[in-house]
Amino acid sequence: MNVAVDVTIVPIGVGVSLSSYVAACEKVFAEAGLKSVLHASGTDIEGEWDEVFGAIKRCHEVVHGMGAPRISATIKLSTRTDRKQSNEDKIQSVNSKLKAAGK
Amino acid sequence: MNVAVDVTIVPIGVGVSLSSYVAACEKVFAEAGLKSVLHASGTDIEGEWDEVFGAIKRCHEVVHGMGAPRISATIKLSTRTDRKQSNEDKIQSVNSKLKAAGK
Amino acid sequence: MNVAVDVTIVPIGVGVSLSSYVAACEKVFAEAGLKSVLHASGTDIEGEWDEVFGAIKRCHEVVHGMGAPRISATIKLSTRTDRKQSNEDKIQSVNSKLKAAGK
Amino acid sequence: MNVAVDVTIVPIGVGVSLSSYVAACEKVFAEAGLKSVLHASGTDIEGEWDEVFGAIKRCHEVVHGMGAPRISATIKLSTRTDRKQSNEDKIQSVNSKLKAAGK
Encode chain D (103 residues) as per-residue pLDDT tens digits: 999 999 999 999 999 999 999 999 999 999 999 999 999 999 999 999 999 999 999 999 999 999 999 999 999 999 999 999 999 999 999 999 999 988 5
D66 touches chain A (CB under 8 A): no
Q: CB D31: neighbour CB atoms within 10 A?
A: 11
Helices (H), chain B: 19-31, 49-65, 87-100
Cross-chain CB nearest to A81 (options B64, B72, B82): B64
Contacts of C25 in chain B (CB under 8 A): none
Rounded average pLDDT over B36-63: 98
Contacts of C69 in chain A (CB under 8 A): 16
* Residue-level pLDDT at C103: 58
* Residue-level pLDDT at D103: 58
Cβ contact D80–A26 (<8 Å)? no
User: E strands of A1-95, at which residues?
Assistant: 2-12, 35-39, 42-48, 70-80
* Residue-level pLDDT at A78: 98
Closest CA to D38 of D24, D48, D51: D24
B70 touches chain C (CB under 8 A): no
C19 touches chain A (CB under 8 A): no
Alpha carbon distance B52, B24 (integer Å): 16
Contacts of B85 in chain C (CB under 8 A): none
B23 touches chain D (CB under 8 A): no
Cβ contact D88–A8 (<8 Å)? no
Contacts of A5 in chain D (CB under 8 A): 41
Alpha carbon distance B66, B5 (integer Å): 24
Cβ contact B10–D13 (<8 Å)? no
Cross-chain CB nearest to B69 (options A57, A76, A81): A81
Rounded average pLDDT over C75-93: 95
Cβ contact B10–D15 (<8 Å)? no
* Residue-level pLDDT at B103: 58
Contacts of A25 (CB under 8 A, 6+ apart): A7, A9, A43, A59, A62, A63
Residue of B nearest to D75 (CA): B74
Residue of D nearest to C75 (CA): D75
Q: How confident is the model at residue A103 (pLDDT cuts 50, 70, 90)?
A: low
* Residue-level pLDDT at C101: 85
Rounded average pLDDT over A34-44: 97
Contact yes or no for D57/C1 (Cβ under 8 A): yes
Read off the pLDDT of residues B65-86 as tens digits, 9 standing for 90 and up: 999 999 999 999 999 999 999 9
A64 touches chain B (CB under 8 A): yes
* Substitution target from A52, A53, A56, A62 for chain B, most B beta carbons within 10 A: A53
Q: CB C47: neighbour CB atoms within 10 A?
A: 20
Q: How confident is the model at residue A35 (pLDDT cuts 50, 70, 90)?
A: very high
From A97's Cα to the closest Cα of chain D, the distance in A is 6
Cross-chain CB nearest to D49 (options C57, C72, C76): C57
* Residue-level pLDDT at D43: 98
From D36's Cα to the closest Cα of chain B, the distance in A is 22
Read off the pLDDT of residues C7-49 as tens digits, 9 standing for 90 and up: 999 999 999 999 999 999 999 999 999 999 999 999 999 999 9
Cβ contact D80–A23 (<8 Å)? no
Residue type, C24: A
Rounded average pLDDT over A45-57: 98
Closest CA to B42 of C19, C78, A11: C78
Chain B neighbours (≥3 Cβ pairs under 8 A) are: A, C, D
B89 touches chain A (CB under 8 A): no
Cross-chain CB nearest to B23 (options C5, C26, C97): C97
Q: Provide the mean pLDDT of chain C.
A: 96
Contacts of A101 in chain D (CB under 8 A): 23, 27
Supply the pTM of this predicted model.
0.97
A31 touches chain D (CB under 8 A): no
* Residue-level pLDDT at A1: 95
Residue of A nearest to B57 (CA): A49
Rounded average pLDDT over C50-61: 98
Alpha carbon distance A41, D42 (integer Å): 10
For A80-102, b/e burial (b = at least 16 CB within 10 A) is beeeebebeebbebbeebbeeee
Contacts of B55 (CB under 8 A, 6+ apart): B28, B29, B32, B34, B45
Residue A18 has pLDDT above 90, yes or no: yes
Q: How confident is the model at residue C102 (pLDDT cuts 50, 70, 90)?
A: confident
Cross-chain CB nearest to C60 (options D1, D50, D72): D1
Which strand (E) or helix (H) includes residue B77? strand B70-80
Read off the pLDDT of residues C58-76 as tens digits, 9 standing for 90 and up: 999 999 999 999 999 999 9
